[in-house]
Structure 1
Amino acid sequence: MAYAAWDHPEPLALGSAPLPEYGSGSLSDLLPTLAAGMAVPGMTAAITELTAADRNCVFLVDGLGWEQLRAHPDEAPFLASLLGSSRGGTGRPITAGYPATTATSLASVGTGLPPGAHGLPGYTVRDPATDQLMNQLRWQPWTDPAAWQPYPTVFQLAADAGVHAAQVSSPTFEHTPLTKVALSGGTFHGRLTGEERMDFAAEQLAAGDRSLVYTYYAELDGAGHRYGVDSDTWRGQLMHVDRLVQRLAEQLPPRSALYVTADHGMLDVPFDEQHRIDFDEDWELRAGVALLGGEGRARHVYAVPGAADDVLTCWREVLGEQFWVASRDEAIAAGWFGPPDRFDERVRGRIGDVVAAAHDDVLIIASEREPKESAMVGNHGSMTPVEQLVPLLEVRS
């Protein structure tokens, strides 16, 4: 059931959306900063407080938000110790970028570009060439990866500059299009367990005088989606992540820096009509809409020809104060997808005619067309601190 417009008479001002810190403290700034410290041509050290190291490892824990980490120090004592400077490093939050979702964030990390440049601006987006929704995480339906994301990754640029570049992750990801467009360059090493990845990442760091190594752990995110970010299962996964980070930190070769970060935070959304607005049962929201993309907290809305203005007006009236609702041009100009002067025009048609980013703890689900996603406990995607802020924790040897 839709909310009546009079329940929310004053839509949120677009200027009140807390923009990601593109250019100074976002995921897209991390690898360029590290590569600049290793003298890779064309790279800029945007995160100015990071000190250059000869060997750098980024350990990305899927779903490990800054606020969730700070709320669970007992489950993650080693990580909690990195929030200060007691181990020779510093801990601070950086922002994921919009939307705060895995495919977008991994592309931002690997390319060093904001979403409006690399062109993966959501979980599902319209392919202008086919007018179909494309799932950028699963790469379905398939499209040419090099055409979809044509820029070189930081790993590729580093390898070309003589840096030993490597990714250590699950063997499942070795040949995926997302890995190709976001994280390729140097060598990929598949390892099944987290412990094996930590050990091999340390070996790869030591393999070069200058090294750039990436490793990844996904299961914390899965636990949050299925059971919630304060469930026993999620807490157990956090405890395991804490042990993995300590295991890697204790094996760092000389002149190394380890950075622990994440692709997004997460929040639990209650299962009721007030918090889960069902697009498939809401005639007002469906009116004039050809395709519904994105995800529950970060929607791309594609209008039928000629209906974009009416859809924008309706979504603003119906959603009221609970979402920031912008037109495509407004969202781009406001910098949601990165600085407007870095926006690549090939990406414009992938972004919704209307873009809706959740402010409150609500979702726009689609129970019929997205049954699995609509049933998730933990969710993410928008620009609120609980989703945007991810840790940047440092250990140096």
Structure 2
Amino acid sequence: MPLMLPSTPAASRSITGVAPELLAAVRGESTWFPAVRSAVLVVVDGLGAIPLRAHAGHARTLTAGMGKKDVAAAVFPTTTASALTSLVTGVHPGEHGLVGYEVRDPARDRLVNQLSGWERAHIDPETWQTAPTIFEQATSAGIPSFAVGMPGYVNTGFSVATLRGADFRGGRNAVDRVQVAWELADANPGAIVYCYLPEVDKAGHAHGVDSAEWVAALEDVDAALSRRLPEGVGALITADHGMVDVPAHRQLVLDPDEGWHDGVRLIGGEPRMLHVYLEADASTEAVVERWRRDLTGFAEAASRDEAIAAGLFGPIVTDAAASRIGDLIVIARSNHAIYDGAAADQRSRGMVGQHGALTDEEWRVPLIRHGAFAG
């Protein structure tokens, strides 16, 4: 079965280029940006380019200088654990190893949540995710680096995997975090500063992209970013992924009584991109063909080998990363979502906004130049 990524013009940029170009910008060597005194990377989690443009009237700061080319391709899967790690390492999930939201730890044969399950699963983030972060690269080059995020994120497993090397600072809301980021960039010439804003993503999951709550979160972020940048400081505003709204009638629940779990050991990933791990004696080819047939029009199904050959997880897939990819992967089409009916926790069925698959709404993210980068 031929699997293909969304069509992307050869000249299009990827979020994997962000980290190396920001490091180059503070050295005056970037091919994307002019030389700057310091650089800030602002990540607005969950803000796709298409929803942003559709709500431009509520985000005048963000869209004022946003042209048609100010977009980038995300990575697959379009989920926070995978894409944020790609943003701060400059490599695809197949190389950094965070290949989904919930993946199998082959050493312990159990699912591990890649955002919040590190401590519970006793996973060492420094050996699970070995690609050097932008902050580690900066330190080795004598460049100061900082990360500004929610105070509760400090020293979590995911933060160690993605922010190691940075001096972490907390901020309670978007206004506080942006102010701290601007001040750090101003006070530390040559610095790289990362500023994480999760408010839009949270509102989208709970209420949907077209909700009043999502618009309010977007307005709050836009207002926070309207603060003038210090002289000579450039900011790049981007996202890890976008999202789509999934109505209840677009949900498919995999009922164990209907044979979906035959030969299946574990189902991970997330509702728009499943990692399906099979029993040792199951026929991968037979299971893939059955799922592919029964999901026609609803989702695409492919084996691990097919997904890797198609380049879904990037041009390089390490042995460690490959061992975490499902024997079968399932990518939802349109605005569908697929749920494991045998799972004890069904709370995710209440999420409206979702991501993980390959629609343009999930795949295209803004790449907006601000301050000295806009000059």
**Could you say which TM-score interval applies, normalised by the shorter chain?**
over 0.9
Q: Which residue matches 1:317? A: 293
Q: For 2:359 and 2:35, how far apart are their aligned partners in 1?
A: 31
Q: Deviations along 1:83-138, whole A, 9 cap, x unmatched?
A: 13xxxxx8611122000011111111111111000000000000000110010010
1:198 is aligned to: 178
Task: Note the C-alpha offset of 1:208.
Answer: 2.3
2:259 aligned with 1:259: no
- Aligned match of 2:56: 73
The structure 1 residue matched to 2:322, chosen from 340, 348, 351, is 348
Stretch deviating more after TM superposition (313-322 or 51-60): 51-60
What is the aligned partner in structure 2 of residue 117 from structure 1? 95
- Partner of residue 248, structure 2: 271
Match of 1:10 in 2: none
- Does 2:4 align with 1:28? no
The residue number in structure 2 matching 1:133 is: 111
Cα distance, 1:200 vs structure 2: 1.0
**Deviations, residues 248-286 of structure 1 (Å, cap 9, x unaligned):** xx1x222221111111111111102xx211024562322
**Residues 57-206 of structure 1 mapped to structure 2, 5 A cutoff:** 57-84=40-67, 92-139=70-117, 140-206=120-186
Q: TM-score, normalised by structure 1?
A: 0.88
Match of 1:301 in 2: 276
- Secondary structure at the aligned position of 2:57 is classed as coil
Query: For 2:185 and 2:255, how far apart are their aligned partners in 1?
Result: 50
Q: Give, as a single letter, the amino acid of the residue that structure 2 aligns with 1:127.
A: D
Asked if the contact 2:4–2:312 (Cα under 8 Å) also holds between the matched residues in 1, the reply is: no
Q: Is the 8 A contact 1:260 1:392 kept in 2?
A: yes
* Contact 1:101–1:263 (8 Å) recurs in 2: yes
> 1:56 pairs with 39, 43, 58, which one?
39
| Structure 2 residue aligned with 1:208 | 188
Amino acid at match of 2:340: A
Range 120-129 or range 49-58, more displaced: 49-58
In structure 2, list runs of 5 or more residues that go unmatched: none
Counterpart-to-counterpart distance in 2, 1:107 and 1:22 = 23
1:394 aligns to what?
Answer: 369
Contact 1:126 1:134 in 2 (8 A): yes
| C-alpha distance in 2 between matches for 1:208 and 1:217 | 22
2:4/2:310 contact within 8 Å kept: no
Could you say what the CA RMSD is over the residues aligned between the two structures, in angstroms?
2.1
Q: Deviations over 1:202-259 (max 9, x none)?
A: 1110122211000111121111111111011111111111101112xx1x22222111
For 1:278, the aligned partner's letter is V
- Return the offset for 1:357: 1.2
2:26 and 2:36 in contact (8 A); partners too: yes
SS at match of 1:321: coil
Q: For residues 204 and 261 of structure 1, what CA distance do their matches in structure 2 show?
A: 19
Structure 1 residues 385, 262: CA separation in 2 closer, same or farther (over 3 Å shift)?
same
TM-score (ref. length: structure 2): 0.93
Partner Cα separation in structure 1 for residue 7 and residue 356 of structure 2: 13
Give the one of 26, 45, 53 matched to 1:38.
26
User: Per-residue deviation at 1:141?
Assistant: 2.0
> What CA distance in whole angstroms lies between the structure 2 residues aligned with 1:246 and 1:91?
22
Q: Note closer, same or farther for the CA distance 1:330–1:75 as it changes in structure 2 (3 Å cut).
A: same
SS in 2 for 1:137: coil
One-letter code of the match for 2:338?
A: I
Are 1:334 and 2:305 an aligned pair? no
CA distance in structure 1 between the partners assigned to 2:276 and 2:265 by the alignment: 8
Most deviating of 188-197 and 99-108: 188-197
Are the equivalent residues in 2 in contact too, given 1:34–1:52 (CA < 8 A)?
no
Number of positions where the alignment pairs a residue of Structure 1 with one of Structure 2? 368
Q: Is the 8 A contact 1:123 1:295 kept in 2?
A: yes
The structure-2 alpha-carbon separation of the partners of 1:24 and 1:75, relative to structure 1 and needing over 3 Å to count, comes to closer
What letter is aligned with 2:159?
T
Change (3 A) 1:14 1:361: farther
Q: Given that residues 96 and 105 in structure 1 are in contact (C-alpha distance below 8 angstroms), is that contact kept between their aligned partners in structure 2?
A: yes
CA drift at 1:81: 0.6
**Partners of 2:21 and 2:32 within 8 A in 1:** no
Offset of residue 20 of structure 1: 7.2
